[in-house]
C-alpha cells in the first residue's frame, strides 16, 4: 500500500482500506486528494475522445479475445491450462496471498506456465494495489498485462510494426544494459515489455468503470525461458533469487530495485516535472511524491500503473528491466509485495522458503511468517496484505510428478491437487519450531514461536507509513502496558 492520507482529511480513512466511494460531492481516495466527480468525468471524456480520433475503441483487446464481453474474457482466462492466480501449487511454483487488517485484499498474483505456447516459458507476477480502487486495478493488470505482453512479443518476433511509439524514458530503458553477452531473445522481449506496460497504463486511463486518478498498483513481472530470466519492475514490490555461494551456503540475491521517490534518479525526474519529493516528520525514512501546490497524495513510490493525478508530475509507468542468466547454483525466485519485504529481510525470506516442509506450502509458510513478523516489528500497526510467488528452478521431486499430492504435513495443512490449499486444525503449533528454523536468526525464531491468537493491538491505527499522523493520546510505554 503505497498511498497515504493527508492529515487534513481524516475522514478518508475508510477508503484507504478499499471501501467503495460514491456521491456527487467528490471522490476521496486514500491519498487525501478530493476529486470532484465532474472533473473526473471531464478527464475521462477527454481521453476517450483522443482514442476515438485515433480509430481505436476502449475494449479492442477484449473483442480480440472473446467478442468484447468481460465475463467471457474472465472465463477464458480461468480455463487456460497452466495459469494460476489464486492460492495454489503446480510442479514448478506455489503462490499464496492473505488479506491484512486494512480492509479488502489489494494484492494480486499470477503464474502462467507454457506462456505464449512456449514449453519452457513461464510468466510470474505480483501486483500491490493502493487507493480506493487499488484492488480492482491490481486484478485488472494481473489479467491484462500477460495478454498484452504475449501479443507484443509475437509481433516483435515476427517483425510486425508496433502501433505503440516509445517515450523518451522507454527509449532510454531500451538502450540500457546493452551487452554482446545478452541472449538473442533479450532485446525483443525487453521492447515487448516496454510496449505492454505502456498499453496497460493507457487502458487503465480509459476504463469507464474504475477511477484510476488516485488509485494504482505496483508490478513486478518475471519471464523465464530456459536459463534466461527477464524481470520488469514497477514500484516497490520485489524479486529475490536464492542461490549458493562458493561455500555452498544459501544466499539471497535481490533482482530488482525498490523504486522509491528518494532514489536520486527518481527524485530528479519528479522534481524536473514540478512534482515534490519529501518525507514527513513521523516517518523520515519514507520519501513521498506530492503535487506542486497541494500536500497530496503522498505516494510512496516513484513508478506505478494508474495514479494519473501524478503522471504529469514525474510519476511514470515505465518498468525497470533487468536480466539474469541462471546457473546450477540458483534454486528459486521469490516475488512478493511489500507486505512481506517490510517485515522480513531478503535472507529471512530465502531461509523460510528453503526450510519449508514441502514446496507446496513454501509460499504459505512465507506469508504466515511475514504476518507474525508484522506483529512483532509493528505492534501498533495494522498488518498489510501479503502475496508471494515461489518459482522453483530445479526439477521437482519424482513423487511430486507421479501423483496428485494429497497429504497432511506437519503444519496441519492439506494440499489437494494443484488448485487449493486448505487450512485444517490450528492446534499443533509447537511442531513448527523443530523443523522450520535451523538458522540463528533471532527474528525468525521469534515469529516461529509466536502464537496465532487474534491480534488486537490498537485496532483502528494503520502502520506509520500509511498514516501521516499517528494518535498521540498515549506514549509508547503506556500503549504497551495497557
Domains plus CATH for the chain?
A: 10-47+80-392+425-449 (3.60.40.10)
Looking at residue 208, the DSSP 8-state letter turns out to be S
Digit-coded pLDDT (tens) for 231-285:
999 999 999 999 999 999 999 999 999 999 999 999 999 999 999 999 998 889 8
Check residues 189 and 426 and name the one with the higher pLDDT.
189
pLDDT > 70: percent of the chain: 61
| Residue 420 clears pLDDT 70, i.e. is over it | no
pLDDT per residue as tens digits for the range 325-361: 999 999 999 999 999 999 999 999 999 999 999 999 9
DSSP 116: G
Torsion of the alpha carbons at 7, 13, 15 and 21, rounded to the nearest 10: -80
Helix (H), strand (E), coil (C) string for 293-322: CEEEEEECCCECEECCCCCCCCCECCCEEE
pLDDT at 86: 93
The span from the CA of 434 to the CA of 438, in Å, is 8
Which H/E stretch holds residue 392? strand 386-392
pLDDT band at 50, cuts 50/70/90? low
Task: Say whether 100 sits in a helix, a strand or coil.
Answer: coil
Q: Which three cell numbers stand for residue 470?
A: 499517528
> How far apart are alpha carbons 432 and 445 in whole angstroms?
10
CB 44 within 8 A of CB 208: yes
Q: Is the dihedral of CA 396, 399, 400, 402 positive or negative?
A: positive
Q: Which of 351, 271, 270, 341 has the alpha carbon at shortest distance from 307? A: 270
To the question of pTM greater than 0.85 for the whole model, the response is no
- pLDDT band at 7, cuts 50/70/90? very low
Q: What is the distance between the alpha carbons of residues 147 and 142, in angstroms, rounded to a whole number?
A: 9
% residues pLDDT > 90 (the chain): 53
Q: Are 166 and 130 in contact (CB under 8 A)?
A: no
Grid cell 513521498 — which residue? 288
Rounded to 10 degrees, what is the CA torsion of 51, 53, 54, 56? 50
* Contact status, residue 365 vs residue 421, Cβ threshold 8 Å: no
Contacting residues for 452 by C-beta, under 8 A, at least 6 apart: 372, 426, 429
Q: Where are the beta strands (DSSP E) in 148-299?
A: 216-217, 219-225, 228-234, 238-244, 250-254, 276-280, 283-291, 294-299
Per the structure block, which three cell numbers stand in for 61? 483487446
Amino acid at each position: 500500500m503505497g498511498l497515504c492520507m493527508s492529515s487534513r482529511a481524516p475522514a478518508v480513512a475508510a477508503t484507504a482500506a478499499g471501501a467503495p466511494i460514491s456521491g456527487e460531492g467528490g471522490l476521496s481516495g486514500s491519498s487525501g486528494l478530493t476529486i470532484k466527480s465532474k472533473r473526473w468525468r471531464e478527464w475521462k471524456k477527454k481521453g476517450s475522445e483522443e482514442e476515438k480520433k485515433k480509430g481505436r475503441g476502449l475494449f479492442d483487446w477484449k473483442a480480440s479475445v472473446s467478442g468484447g464481453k468481460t465475463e467471457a474474457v474472465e472465463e477464458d482466462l480461468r480455463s487456460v491450462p497452466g495459469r494460476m492466480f489464486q492460492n495454489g501449487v503446480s510442479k514448478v511454483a506455489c503462490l499464496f496471498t492473505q488479506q491484512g487488517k486494512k480492509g479488502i485484499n489489494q494484492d494480486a498474483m499470477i503464474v502462467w506456465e507454457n506462456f505464449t505456447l512456449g514449453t519452457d516459458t513461464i510468466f510470474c507476477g505480483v501486483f500491490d494495489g493502493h487507493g480506493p480502487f487499488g484492488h480492482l486495478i491490481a486484478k485488472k493488470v494481473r489479467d491484462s498485462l500477460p495478454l498484452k505482453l504475449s501479443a507484443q512479443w509475437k509481433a516483435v518476433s515476427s517483425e510486425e510494426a508496433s502501433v505503440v511509439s516509445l517515450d523518451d524514458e522507454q527509449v532510454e530503458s531500451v538502450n540500457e544494459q546493452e551487452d554482446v553477452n545478452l541472449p538473442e531473445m533479450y532485446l525483443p522481449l525487453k521492447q515487448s515489455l516496454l510496449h505492454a506496460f505502456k498499453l496497460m497504463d493507457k487502458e487503465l486511463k480509459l476504463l469507464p468503470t474504475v477511477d484510476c486518478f488516485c488509485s494504482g498498483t505496483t508490478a513486478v513481472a518475471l519471464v523465464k525461458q530456459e536459463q534466461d530470466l527477464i524481470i520488469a519492475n514497477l514500484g516497490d514490490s520485489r524479486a529475490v533469487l536464492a542461490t549458493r555461494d562458493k561455500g555452498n551456503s544459501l544466499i539471497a540475491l535481490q533482482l530488482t530495485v525498490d523504486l522509491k521517490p528518494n532514489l536520486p534518479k527518481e527524485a530528479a525526474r519528479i522534481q524536473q516535472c514540478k512534482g515534490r519529493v519529501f518525507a514527513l516528520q513521523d516517518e523520515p525514512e519514507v520519501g513521498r511524491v506530492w503535487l506542486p501546490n497541494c500536500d497530496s497524495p503522498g505516494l510512496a513510490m516513484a513508478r506505478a500503473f494508474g495514479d494519473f493525478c501524478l503522471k504529469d508530475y514525474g510519476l511514470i509507468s515505465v518498468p525497470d528491466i533487468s536480466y539474469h542468466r541462471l546457473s546450477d547454483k540458483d534454486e528459486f525466485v521469490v516475488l512478493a509485495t511489500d507486505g512481506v519485504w517490510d517485515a522480513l529481510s531478503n535472507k529471512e525470506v530465502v531461509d523460510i522458503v528453503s526450510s519449508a516442509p514441502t514446496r507446496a506450502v513454501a509460499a504459505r509458510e512465507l506469508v504466515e511468517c511475514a504476518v507474525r513478523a508484522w506483529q512483532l516489528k509493528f505492534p501498533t500497526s495494522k498488518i498489510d496484505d501479503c502475496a508471494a510467488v515461489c518459482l522453483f528452478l530445479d526439477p521437482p521431486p519424482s513423487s511430486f510428478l507421479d501423483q496428485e499430492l494429497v497429504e497432511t504435513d506437519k503444519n496441519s495443512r492439506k494440499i489437494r491437487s494443484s488448485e487449493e490449499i486448505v487450512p485444517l486444525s490450528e492446534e499443533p503449533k509447537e511442531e513448527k519450531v523443530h523443523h522450520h528454523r535451523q538458522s540463528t536468526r533471532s527474528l525468525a525464531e521469534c515469529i516461529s514461536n509466536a502464537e496465532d491468537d487474534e491480534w488486537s493491538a490498537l485496532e483502528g491505527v494503520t502502520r506509520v507509513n500509511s498514516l501521516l499522523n499517528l494518535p498521540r493520546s498515549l506514549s509508547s510505554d503506556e500503549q504497551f502496558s495497557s
